[in-house]
Chains A and B, each alone.
Chain A
Amino acid sequence: MGNPLLTFWSRRLQQEEQQRRARRARALAAAESAGRASETVFLVLRRMRAPLIVLIAIFSVSVLGLTLIPGADGEGRPVPMGFFDAIYVMSYTATTIGFGEIPYPFTYNQRMWVTISIYLTVIGWAYAIGSLLSLLQDRSFRQALAVQRFSRRVARLAEPFVLVAGFGRAGELLGHSMDRLGRRVVVLDVDSERIEGLDLESFHADVPGLTADARDAGHLGVAGLDHPCCEAVVALTNDDEANLAVVMATALLRPEVPVIARATTATMADRMRAFGSPSVINPFDVFGDHLGLALRAPASYQLLTWLESGPGAPLPPRGSPPRTGRWIVCGYGRLGRELTRDLRAEGIEVTVVDPTPRDDVDDAVVAGGFEPGVLQGLGLEEAAGFVAGTDNDITNLSLAATARSAHPGLFVAARQNRPSSAPLFAAMELDALLVPTEVVAHQVYAQLSTPLLWRFLHDMPARGDDWAAALVDRLTDLCGTHLQALWKLRLTPQEAPALRAWLSSGEARLGDLLRSPENRSDSLHAVPLLVLRGEGATLAPEPDFVLAPGDELLLVGWPAARRALDSTLHVDSVRAYVTTGRRVPSSWVWRKVSGVEHDREPARR
């Protein structure tokens, strides 16, 4: 097509068509799942047909019999029983209440009939109630009810939420850190125990959860994939293929929603990247990168792990992995492979030990590592570092213990696979510990909490180790050894109405903004981590950094500092005091009387 205008139009039309298709498919997916739920309710109604008809038949036969059999009044005159009396008597007889014989004592004829009816109706009631109770216990019926309740709760969400597919250990950690930030989470998991466990967890906000396979696009639809407030989708199941299915469903049905997925192999990561631009996290790859960073810059690594752990996290110790010397890596699985490559990229000599021979590595020692003499034979006494990286916790623990007893000064790292082994690994006091689920949870948290934090963590290693060490010192001086609140600030007229005139003056220094409204000679207990202006980011800006309208700030500090800063942003007189030191009257009358001119603009929205 030669005409650029035509090209433009056809592209726009294509885009619109794509969006329309996605909308339609989304509606279909959700409707299918909801339809399946209502189908089950209809099935239940259908199964109640027989008991109800039996009940109606027994009841009507008994009533009819009573009206046909003549009774007798006090004097023995025959009196036929009316329909109303008959229905009344049968109602209380059938339900075993039994008020007696009305309107006159029954004749023997009537009593015989009532005796038969009693047994008939009791059987009818028992059958009906029994069927109803067994239906309530029915698995598919309960699942249908759960789906309906869940979709109602999700539909009622009016604030942005994150859809987490796979609520394993990583999902749980992520859920808690998002909850602490005051963000909403919706959870899907195949394991019903995990979902039932949600009620026992202490979340601040209500977390809707559903036992369902995330591979089904309909389940994702019910969980809010088509909800306008869905801000991100996170795929954290144990199954890489299920994660791929989540990435696919999101990319096809909601292309504008960001996806973060866990993948344990590079192939799977590539397959995921074929769908839009999901953020793929490979825990082993990340750990390898982290170990590389820890080797090069221990303080940068310390800062990274601290900020990634979220508010309330204790300051991790600054490890000092040996930069020189030979490393021994036990286990050449997914972790071992990544780790060996990263270590060799750092120029470190690595010896690999693995019980099964592998094709892609030539110098691996084929051994479990725990056999007597094998590690000694590899020169453990001269080695600098040791990694126990198999997928078996018992093996890892025993390898780490063997290595440490053979060479007490050795740097020992181990991989923890199951959360239940955590106390054992903690008691070993290892130099470095890899918990894949935690790595994933921290990475996802860093990406979701605020894009600024992700940017900071991304740019931070380039600033060098000394810079990071200085920043860690500043943070510990300010907040102690536990990370305080982390928040974002946008200097727009909407979010910082009191700063408009000051920001455009060109002398808006960051240090002036971060002063205490009570006493401006004290500074607030907050450290600015990052200022983002357009695409350019300034890391840990100095107090004389000049702010401009539209800047975005990432701050870490006490919650009280956040509240104080809020009043500076919103109240003109506080802002004036904080930046200039003058106490400006806040009421209009007092301002006129004292003759102070206010520099705020008169018309403000």
Chain B
Amino acid sequence: MNLEKVVFGFFVLLAATLNFGFFIGDMRDPEVHNRYELFAAVVVNLIALVLKFGDRTQIGAVHLATSLVAALQLIAASLVFGYATYVSSAGLTEQSMAAVVSLSGGALMANVVSVVLLVVETVSYHRG
């Protein structure tokens, strides 16, 4: 067992599950989307992104690309969240909540691709 692989798989999977947890629920209802979960998703995605630095293989490059997409989408989602809560005079409306959740949905897509890559890599790995 390789500890590096465990940590890598853990963070990639955790990024996807946290993202999914935030995404699920009625799109317009702020009650069912926890902001702490979004924060955790951003942080774990950033860590997953940094873990993917410096891999020169083709699959490593695609890994890095998916993580970049996910991290950027989640940061955009939290920026919209913050703008709606602190700056906008209308407050956290249904429209802005929908925008936040759909952005995190996009990030979820990227995270799913990342997990698929991880699985593909594991399956194609031959022992010995």
Which residues of chain A have a CB within 8 Å of any CB of chain B?
Answer: 39, 42-49, 52-53, 56-57, 60, 63-64, 67, 82-84
**Interface residue stretch chosen among B20-28, B43-51, B99-107, B110-118:** B43-51
* B39 contact set on A, CB distance < 8 A: 60, 63-64, 67, 83
CB distance from A308 to the nearest CB of B (A): 51
Chain B positions 7 through 20: 1 when the CB is less than 8 Å from some CB of chain A, otherwise 0: 00000000000000
Whether the Cβ atoms of A39 and B51 lie closer than 8 Å is no
Closest to A57 in B: B47
Contacts of A83 on B, CB cut-off 8 Å? 35, 39, 78, 82
Q: Which of B68-87 contact A (CB under 8 A)?
A: 78, 82, 85-86
The total of chain B residues at the interface (CB under 8 A) is 16
Q: CB within 8 A of A43: which of B35, B46, B54?
A: B54
Return chain B residues, CB-CB under 8 Å to A57: 43, 47
- Say yes or no: B85 contacts A53, CB within 8 Å: no
Nearest residue, chain B, Cβ from A55: B50
Q: Is the CB of A56 within 8 A of B86?
A: no
In Å, the complex CA distance between A84 and B78 comes to: 10
Known A-B contacts A42-B56, A56-B43, A60-B39; the reply to A82 vs B86 at CB < 8 A is: yes
Contacts of B51 in A (CB 8 A): 49, 53
A sample of 7 inter-chain contacts (CB < 8 A) reads A39-B56, A48-B53, A56-B46, A63-B39, A64-B36, A64-B39, A84-B82
What is the interface of chain A mostly: helix, strand, loop, or mixed?
Answer: helix
Cβ of B46 and Cβ of A84 under 8 Å apart? no
Complex Cα gap A584–B46 (Å): 81
CA distance A49 to B9 in the complex (A): 16
- Docked Cα-Cα span, A47 to B53, in Å, equals 9
Measured CA separation A237–B106 after assembly (Å): 59
- Contacts A57-B47, A63-B39, A67-B36 aside, 20 further interface pairs with beta carbons under 8 A come to A39-B56, A42-B55, A42-B56, A44-B54, A45-B54, A46-B53, A48-B53, A49-B51, A49-B53, A53-B47, A53-B51, A56-B46, A56-B47, A56-B50, A60-B39, A60-B43, A64-B36, A64-B39, A83-B78, A83-B82
Complex CA gap A48/B82 in Å reads 30
For residue B54, give the distance in angstroms from its CB to the closest CB of chain A. 3
User: With the chains together, A52 CA to B78 CA distance in Å?
Assistant: 21
Q: What residues on B are CB-neighbors of A48 within 8 Å?
A: 50, 53
A82 and B36 alpha carbons, distance in the complex (Å): 10
Contact check, A46 vs B54: say whether CB atoms are below 8 A apart: yes
Contact A49 B56 (CB under 8 A): no
Of chain B, the residue at the smallest CB distance from A41 is B54
CA distance A49 to B51 in the complex (A): 6
Write the nearest CB–CB distance from B53 to chain A, whole angstroms.
Answer: 4
Complexed CA–CA distance, A42 and B54 (Å): 5
User: Which residues of chain A are within 8 angstroms of B36 by Cβ–Cβ distance?
Assistant: 64, 67
Return the chain A residue nearest B78 by Cβ.
Answer: A83
Assess the B43–A84 pair: CB atoms within 8 A: no
CA distance A574 to B56 in the complex (A): 66
A53–B82 CA distance with the chains assembled, in angstroms = 24
Q: Which residues of the other chain, A, contact B78 by a CB distance below 8 angstroms?
A: 83
Write out the residue numbers on chain A whose beta carbons fall within 8 Å of the beta carbon of B86: 82, 84
Contacts of B46 in A (CB 8 A): 56
Q: Separation in Å of the B88 CB from the closest CB of chain A?
A: 12
Min CB distance A128 to B, Å, is 11
A125 to chain B minimum Cβ distance, whole angstroms, is: 16
Query: Considering the chains assembled together, what is the distance between the CA atoms of A493 and B58 in angstroms?
Result: 56
Cβ-defined partner of B50 (8 Å) among A42, A53, A67, A84: A53
Instruction: For residue A416, give the distance in angstroms from its CB to the closest CB of chain B.
Output: 51
CA distance A64 to B86 in the complex (A): 18
Residues of B within 8 A of A56 (CB): 43, 46-47, 50
**Top 4 A-B pairs ranked by shortest CB distance?**
A46-B54, A60-B43, A45-B54, A45-B53
Inter-chain contact B54/A82, CB cutoff 8 Å: no
**C-alpha spacing A330/B76, complex, angstroms:** 83
CA distance A63 to B39 in the complex (A): 10
Give the distance to chain A from B65, nearest Cβ to Cβ, in Å. Answer: 15
Contact A82 B56 (CB under 8 A): no
A157 to chain B, nearest CB (A): 29
Given contacts A39-B56, A82-B86, A83-B82, contact A52 B50 (CB under 8 A): yes
With the chains together, A48 CA to B56 CA distance in Å? 15
With a cutoff of 8 Å between Cβ atoms, the chain B residues found around residue A60 in the complex are 39, 43
Contact indicator A84/B85 (Cβ below 8 Å): yes
Set B35, B54, B85: member contacting A49, Cβ < 8 A: B54
B47 to chain A, nearest CB (A): 5
